[in-house]
Amino acid sequence: MKLVRTAWKILVGIKDLLVLILLLLFFSVLFAALSHRPTPATIRDGALVVALNGTLVDQPSEADPLSGLSGARAAREVSARDVIRALDAAKGDARVKAVVLDLDSFMGGYPATVSEVAAAVGRVRAAGKPVLAYATAYTDSGYQIAANASEIWVHPMGGSIFMGPGGRQLYYKGLVDKLGVNVHVYKVGKFKSAVEPYIRADMSPEAREASTALYSGLLDQWREGIQKARPKARIAEFLMKPDVAITAARGDIAAANRAYGLVDQLGDRIAFGAHVARMVGTPSGARAGNFNTIKLADWLQAHPLPTSGDPIGVITIAGDIVDGKGGAGSAGGDTVAKLVLDGLKDGKLKALVVRVDSPGGSAMASEQMRQAILQAKAQKLPIVVSMGGLAASGGYWVSTAGDVIFAEPNTITGSIGIFGIIPTFENSLAKIGVTTDGVQSTPLTGQPSIYGGTNATVDTILQSAIEAGYGRFVGLVAASRKLTPQRVDEIAQGRVWIGGVARQIGLVDRFGGLDDAIAEAAKRAGLDPAKVRPVYLAKKPNATAAAIAAALSSFGDDEEDDGNWATTAAGKDSYARIADERRVLLAQALGDARRLTQAGSVQARCLECMALGVPGARDADLALLQLVMGAAK
């Protein structure tokens, strides 16, 4: 027995030692991550690598410190604001010998957001700095950015085909009827199509009209932007007759891309890396295909935001607008309102810029945020709205607080209309022999009942409330845009507009990005735009949580993000990207079901915005799909 006890003590001691070693390793990595603060002196000559690994967004979600423990990688989000800042800083810095755009894992972004990054790439190229783009297969958004580069490379076994905006939308009327679910819809606006998937089996004529105009406008702007950046590319021919181009190249998509002038060179990552190395040099002892690299994170930390100058507040409203506090990827009414009021309380801000990048959501939360923003006007501060990729429905509701509205020509906006949905399951229960009965003391007793349905009294009240809410929305727009309510009603009705048309009909004042909005806010405050600085009214990022997430997700990674270009994981070809899109379609179905059952207030939401194929807009749905698929195994 003594021998057994001794052996047991030895095993426990070994276990404790291993735990201690693992903890020491973990906290060493964590300490290194927290203490790493690059300075300009640590930046060496080389190529600035801008790896767009994920979705371009206006405001990335906060990292989940425990996401790395599951073994699955969360969809990444890349701050477009950071990318643009990095590119603008690089164009005049002699240490940056070239800029490399790694688009192998790029998942897209809303058109206006992508356009802003593409324009920043164009500025670097115009300054005489070489810009080289690489991907195994470019998405539509990825190619829009790459077209502004000096050289475009594609993998010889990859190649790109372009889809254009639009596509098929899921409709659940048949399924809803089979399940016996009774979907009660209360809405205003003949173009307010967000409710159609639950009450129709196909697209309404009004929705088809609006979507056709929207997607045609976006496609025209995409094609024109590429033609301007790359005049010799036969993009229109390849876009409309890709089968002719690819069969002429005997099925070689990459060769067809080159024949039509869409790309300059075919090569794998090693060949591309060797080409860049001849321009910027190679680290001592590096593997073939690597080159002197400047990491984007290091470059950004070496070029922080300005800390001097008159402060201009910038509040960002990004993602779904929800009641209460906003979690990752959403704009909570309570959260945003508190950030605005906290930013205004010390009286130091000279103006307020409202950056909107949202498809809408809760009308109540939208109004809550608008009221908080109006407190800046009560302090005599100018309010300038800057619309990003989209500012529709609730996003436009918030925008009515501004003195002037900036947007990009391909910003998606409008969708002025509201709706409410209540599903009831009395028919579903009847199918399995369950019925309901009871006594009502008033017409509204127990109404609306999810297992007994609604009655005419509650239907009338709810529809009347929706109509009153729409009237309020129209009134806000009329007062803000100096239009008559009748005119606003004509251009409202839930219709979505592209930025260029929105400016023509009076919903937008000027074209421009966030920097233009900040400059305008400075002028309205009587300040020199060159002597102001943006102060972002945002929840301070949890540096510890971010470092833990990075440390946990790095376990098991061999070469990723270590500066070895040639050994970075290869991207996906066109077939793999198409498969990803099918996965997103399945995730959309789960997300639609979730929205039907969880929407808890009057909604001002845009359906067309959700159909633009931006993966980052459906991260929660993708996570739900992974959970369901995992449970089915």
For the chain, domain boundaries: 44-166+216-303+559-599, 167-215+307-539+600-633
- The stretch 554-559 carries a mean pLDDT of 43
For residue 133, pLDDT over 80 is answered with yes
For residue 260, pLDDT over 90 is answered with yes
Winning range, highest mean pLDDT, from 16-25, 269-278, 430-439, 449-458 = 269-278
Lowest mean pLDDT among 403-412, 429-438, 483-492: 429-438
For residue 321, pLDDT over 80 is answered with yes
Do 549 and 65 contact (CB within 8 A), yes or no? Answer: yes
For residue 409, pLDDT over 90 is answered with yes
User: Distance between CA atoms of 631 and 621, rounded to whole angstroms?
Assistant: 15
The pLDDT of residue 166 is 85
pLDDT digits (tens, 9 = 90+) for 193-230: 878 888 899 999 998 998 899 999 999 999 999 999 99
Distance of CA 497 to the CA centre of its chain: 19
The pLDDT of residue 3 is 65
More reliable by pLDDT, 583 or 412: 412
Structure tokens at 238: 């390849």
Picking from 315, 272, 345, 292, the residue whose alpha carbon sits closest to that of residue 521 is 315
Fold of 44-166+216-303+559-599: 2-enoyl-CoA Hydratase; Chain A, domain 1 (3.90.226)
The pLDDT > 90 percentage for the chain reads 60
The pLDDT of residue 73 is 47
This prediction's pTM: 0.84
Just list the catalytic residues.
Answer: 192, 393
Structure tokens at 399: 């925008």
Q: Within a 10 A sphere around the Cβ of 324, how many other Cβ atoms?
A: 14
The CA-atom distances, in angstroms, between 390 and each of 86, 111, 221, 503, 618 are: 23, 9, 16, 14, 15
> pLDDT confidence of 629, banded at 50, 70, 90?
very low
More reliable by pLDDT, 582 or 161: 161
> pLDDT confidence of 137, banded at 50, 70, 90?
very high
The pLDDT of residue 581 is 59
- The stretch 472-484 carries a mean pLDDT of 96
Following CA atoms 461, 465, 470, 471 in sequence, which dihedral angle do they give, to the nearest 10 degrees?
A: 100
More reliable by pLDDT, 546 or 463: 463
User: Distance between CA atoms of 421 and 607, rounded to whole angstroms?
Assistant: 14
Lowest mean pLDDT among 38-42, 126-130, 346-350, 589-593: 38-42
For residue 585, pLDDT over 60 is answered with no
Q: Within a 10 A sphere around the Cβ of 429, how many other Cβ atoms?
A: 16
For residue 338, pLDDT over 90 is answered with yes
Distance of CA 262 to the CA centre of its chain: 26
The pLDDT of residue 624 is 44
Lowest mean pLDDT among 32-46, 180-194, 245-259, 369-383: 32-46
- The stretch 498-506 carries a mean pLDDT of 96
User: Distance between CA atoms of 340 and 538, rounded to whole angstroms?
Assistant: 9
Instruction: Kindly report the average pLDDT of the chain as a whole number.
Output: 85
User: Distance between CA atoms of 633 and 628, rounded to whole angstroms?
Assistant: 9
Structure tokens at 240: 């409309």
Picking from 131, 134, 139, the residue whose alpha carbon sits closest to that of residue 109 is 139
Do 383 and 407 contact (CB within 8 A), yes or no? Answer: no
Q: Within a 10 A sphere around the Cβ of 255, how many other Cβ atoms?
A: 19
More reliable by pLDDT, 44 or 625: 44
Q: Within a 10 A sphere around the Cβ of 348, how many other Cβ atoms?
A: 11
> pLDDT confidence of 557, banded at 50, 70, 90?
very low
Dihedral pair phi/psi, residue 398, rounded to 5°: -65, -35
For residue 615, pLDDT over 50 is answered with no
Following CA atoms 182, 188, 190, 191 in sequence, which dihedral angle do they give, to the nearest 10 degrees?
A: -90
The pLDDT of residue 36 is 53
The pLDDT > 70 percentage for the chain reads 79
Domain 167-215+307-539+600-633 bears CATH identifier 3.90.226.10: yes
pLDDT digits (tens, 9 = 90+) for 141-200: 999 999 999 999 999 999 999 999 888 888 889 988 999 999 888 888 888 787 888 889
> pLDDT confidence of 558, banded at 50, 70, 90?
very low
Which residues have CB under 8 Å from 107's CB, separation 6+?
Answer: 54, 55, 75, 139, 615, 616
The pLDDT of residue 14 is 78
User: Concatenated DSSP letters for 436-448?
Assistant: -----SSTTTTPS
The CA-atom distances, in angstroms, between 515 and each of 87, 143, 395, 529 are: 14, 25, 20, 10
User: Distance between CA atoms of 533 and 531, rounded to whole angstroms?
Assistant: 7
DSSP category for residue 319: S
* Overall size of the chain counted in residues: 633
User: Distance between CA atoms of 184 and 350, rounded to whole angstroms?
Assistant: 47
- The stretch 408-423 carries a mean pLDDT of 92
The CA-atom distances, in angstroms, between 250 and each of 221, 243, 247, 395 are: 31, 10, 5, 48
The pLDDT of residue 71 is 46
For residue 35, pLDDT over 70 is answered with no
Place of tokens 């009965």: 437
- The stretch 289-308 carries a mean pLDDT of 92
For residue 487, pLDDT over 70 is answered with yes
User: Distance between CA atoms of 352 and 382, rounded to whole angstroms?
Assistant: 6
User: Distance between CA atoms of 60 and 76, rounded to whole angstroms?
Assistant: 8
Burial category of 26 from C-beta neighbours within 10 Å (exposed 0-12, middle 13-18, buried 19 and up):
middle
Strand partners, 330: 320
For residue 80, pLDDT over 90 is answered with yes
Do 391 and 416 contact (CB within 8 A), yes or no? Answer: no
> pLDDT confidence of 65, banded at 50, 70, 90?
low
